[in-house]
Structure 1
């Protein structure tokens, strides 16, 4: 999907399998020149993906505006900035949902059925 960040359009992937939100440093360098001034320290430094190990150089908070027919949806997620990722855009993981109190996993009362009624 395309979202608006700092008055420009950027690609955003919503990944329900990703534990946290990430963005590649090279993408930020190309689109946000003052990256060093906005970078916050990161508590987690090493990440693993199917393509291998990745290193975080910090975090960044960006206001995302999702344009909808009837309204604008605004989010302020924190993205881990990965030094060795090749994602061209922002990846929104499930951490932003937990931040807003959304439980997509139904972890309190999880019921799994196989097409039969209880």
Structure 2
């Protein structure tokens, strides 16, 4: 048994070796400090190969993180940013920008 100190929470994360070698990932992994039940781990197999977890196998890790009290303010309009509403990958350097920089040298 264990308890998470008040003002913190536990985040269940995958172990890097298992994620890299076996393509297993962990989902839904937040444990509140007042939770007292059994901790279970949700595992996603992202490969085509069957994987059987054996008792005692280290498949995940819990990282204790501090809860940062934050106030969120609802607004009618958001200020403009360079990124705007760009989604996944929109902040990366574009290939033609790299080529332009290389051609300058």
TM bucket (normalised to shorter chain) is under 0.3
Structure number with greater CO (CA < 8 Å, separation at least 6) is 1
TM-score scaled by length of structure 2: 0.22
TM-score scaled by length of structure 1: 0.21
Q: Larger % of strand: which?
A: 1
